[in-house]
Amino acid sequence: MNNSRLIEILRVFNKREIRNLRKWIISPIGNQREDVILLFECLLKDERYQMNNSLSKTDIFDQVYTNVLYDDAKMRQLVFFGMKTLEEYVIYQELRKDEIKARIALADFYRERKLDKIYQKNFKILRKLHEDHPYRNCDFLKNEYLIQEEEYISSSRSKRSISLNLQEVSDSLHQTFIAEKLRQSYLMLAHQSVYQTDYKIGLIDEILKEVGQNEVLLNTPAIALYYYGYKSNTEKENTTHFKNLKKNIFKHGHLFPKGELRDISMMAINYCIGQMNRGKDKFIREAFELYQQGFKNGIFLYNNFVSPWTFHNVVVAGLKLKDFPSVQNFINDNQIYLEDKYRESFVNYSFALFYYEKGDYSKAMNYLLHYEHDEMLINLRVKIMLLKIYYQQDEINALESLLGSMRTYLSRKKIMGYHKEGVKNIIRLTKKLLKVKPYDKVQKEKLETLIKEANPLTTSDRNWLLTQLENV
């Protein structure tokens, strides 16, 4: 019983949802079976549904049907009706969330029953709700189309001689289709780049041409953002599309739900990362500003927590820009959004990076000494930072000991090939760096070639090695 769908669903309910479910179960509208009421009383008793212990079907059967021998068919029937009641509750709750669609359904009812005065009053409320809605995303455009369609049906069936809103119906349908098509096309494009899937995106060329020539469509936020996002990722060298995308994010971001705005912002950030990988460092600032705006809008929070990797990416981008005040403020202001299991370690690592980039190696070392976490990739970066500090402070014995321990670490851990080979390269090249004779030009040139050709090797590690070689 503990693995049943019924229990699985109940486990994701919060306390408020459980309270409302109890009301639904005892209501004759939600349920008319006494045994279903008893079933949920048993399941929800002392919040047993949240426990890990196994719930026996026979125990539940005995509590629901007293003095009746266990009947597996009867138990399955009980669970079936319990599941039906639970799903009807979920459907009801989900449909209630969109008040505009609920009002559209009411309008349909009042129109069909010819309750004209009530219909008109409801339609005014519907229009006001729609106009006052905080978002202007694809769902807003869909609702606009449904409202225009409802108005058309009502007008066409009335006996009054009035003009019909056929143009408005057509325009709203046109905008809805284009917005949804652009959004879906970008999602297919993004998925295609990762999974090497060959999607056929029908009508996209015609839609892009239509939007590019139509100011009304370009001034529609739900269309503009996905239009410029799609163009940015298909015409990467034309940075005007990215600039327009970023401008629209900053200008119209508040008109989108946080989840959708996060996806749009990541669309722009991923473009920046692609440009940075091509050596265009000016996009570091673009990405940093997008991250900062995202944190300002709270879009990177999942259940009130931020991914430690997103936190880390912001710190790294800011440090690459040498924007130390902004990075320090970011760490101090946003560390509260890291989960407890990540907070101390990622804050210590972030401050270690911060002071390392400022050249304050003693403070960086102090934070590294307090870093403790089992995140493998960060552990590798911590070791590489220590490697650089030991080298730059001429702590050769400590450095050689660290290089040996890093090799042992790599041999013991299951690390992805790319990362493993990258660390092996910096270990190998650092050892060669230690053996370089200051006045041996040939030896230095050979090592320079090895550093430049080493692959894989991060840009920051490569630049560090080349800088140290210059200073030998």
Q: What is the pLDDT of residue 52?
A: 45
Residue 104 vs residues 34, 295, 323: alpha-carbon distances, Å: 35, 36, 51
Q: Tell me what pLDDT residue 374 has.
A: 78
Token readout for 221 is 């936020």
* Location of structure tokens 């719930």: 55
Give the Å distances, CA to CA, from 437 to 50, 447, 467, 471: 67, 11, 15, 11
In tens, the pLDDT along 301-345 reads 998 999 999 999 999 999 999 999 999 999 999 999 999 999 999
Q: What percent of the chain has pLDDT over 90?
A: 81
Label residue 50 by pLDDT band (50, 70, 90): low
Q: Is the confidence at residue 185, as pLDDT, over 50?
A: yes
Per-residue pLDDT of 281-303, as tens digits, reads 999 999 999 999 999 999 999 98
Give 336's DSSP letter. G
**Minimal CA–CA distance to 363: which of 372, 375, 354, 374?**
354
pLDDT for 206: 96
Residue 17 has pLDDT above 50, yes or no: yes
Distance CA 345, CA 351 (A): 10
pLDDT in tens, 400-421: 999 999 999 998 888 777 889 9
**pLDDT tens digits, 6-16:** 988 998 899 89
Task: With a cut of 80, say whether residue 34 has pLDDT above it.
Answer: yes
- Burial class of residue 400 (count of CB atoms within 10 Å of its CB; 0-12, 13-18, 19+): middle
> Residues 191-202: what's their mean pLDDT?
82
Would you say 192 and 199 are in contact if contact means Cβ atoms under 8 Å apart?
A: yes
Instruction: Give the whole-angstrom CA distance, residue 397 versus residue 413.
Output: 25
| Stronger pLDDT, 161 or 426, i.e. the higher one | 426
Task: Compute the distance between CA of residue 461 and CA of residue 439 in angstroms, rounded to an integer.
Answer: 24
Range scoring the smallest mean pLDDT among 129-138, 227-236, 257-266, 415-424: 415-424
- Residue 396: is its pLDDT beyond 80? yes
Burial class of residue 103, CB neighbours in 10 A (0-12, 13-18, 19+): buried
221 or 96, which is more confident: 221
| Average pLDDT of the chain, as a whole number | 92
pLDDT, tens only, 428-461: 999 999 999 988 999 999 999 999 999 999 888 9
Residue 48: pLDDT above 70? no
Residue 399: predicted pLDDT: 97
Which residue matches tokens 């970023």? 246
Distance between CA 267 and CA 276 in Å, rounded? Answer: 14
Radius of gyration of the chain measured on its C-alpha atoms? 31
Instruction: Please write the tens of the pLDDT for every residue from 344-357.
Output: 999 999 999 999 99
The single-letter DSSP state of residue 56 is P
- Give 44's pLDDT tier (boundaries 50, 70, 90): confident
DSSP three-state, residue 302: strand
Q: What is the DSSP letter of 158?
A: S
Q: Is the pLDDT of residue 36 over 90?
A: yes
- Helix, strand, coil percentages for the chain (3-state, nearest 5): 75, 0, 25
